[in-house]
Chains A and B, each alone.
Chain A
Amino acid sequence: GIQVEQSPPDLILQEGANSTLRCNFSDSVNNLQWFHQNPWGQLINLFYIPSGTKQNGRLSATTVATERYSLLYISSSQTTDSGVYFCAVGLNNQGGKLIFGQGTELSVKP
């Protein structure tokens, strides 16, 4: 099956700093999503981005499907950005099934 690897596994930032999270996947996909899990466990979808670039406020994401990786950029980080960021991939002929990476745990210090 498809393997998903995220890096780095952990990241500590000072408030205001920028960061880049990476997601590598082992096979062609046509579904890729980024999620943020807050410290209370709630997962929120950030981006649906099987290819191309999207931006939402201080967050942006780029997926280069031909090279099998995706990047999530966080600019001017805030303490509320803390939590775990997951990348998940899938094939759209599999009923929307996603395979998750193990996540990047981000801690933003004031």
Chain B
Amino acid sequence: DVKVTQSSRYLVKRTGEKVFLECVQDMDHENMFWYRQDPGLGLRLIYFSYDVKMKEKGDIPEGYSVSREKKERFSLILESASTNQTSMYLCASSESGAKETDTQYFGPGTRLTVL
């Protein structure tokens, strides 16, 4: 069964802290994605990765960085957390290729609050 896990379900951090959100998939997928979800704005892509050590900016990369040292793990880093980064963060993965395997599978989400 397909599984994407995220390190925390809820997280509370202070302004200026460095925050790491971890995502792990067990499906040997090439592609991994980080989104944030805010009321009224839907899901917005922060960064994605189509291979180990490869990364591409999404629509809202400012204030974030990512790391993909191993195929199964994709980390989102908030270098200096700010209150406007309070949000739900969702990780997803998909197999590579122009076919049905492009289906994205999502983790349960991390609700981050920055005080």
Contact = CB atoms under 8 A, between A and B. Distances in A.
B69 to A, nearest CB: 18
A96 B50 contact: yes
Contacts of A1: 59
Contacts of B43: 86, 88, 100
Interface stretch (B18-26, B60-68, B74-82, B98-106): B98-106
A52 B102 CA distance: 17
A92 B40 contact: no
9 contacts: A33-B102, A33-B104, A35-B106, A95-B31, A95-B50, A96-B50, A97-B45, A99-B45, A100-B42
Contacts, number: 68
Contacts of A99: 45
Interface string A40-62: 11111100100000000000000
Nearest to B98: A92
Given A86-B43, A96-B31, A103-B42, A41 B88 contact: yes
Interface in B14-46: 31, 33, 35, 40-45
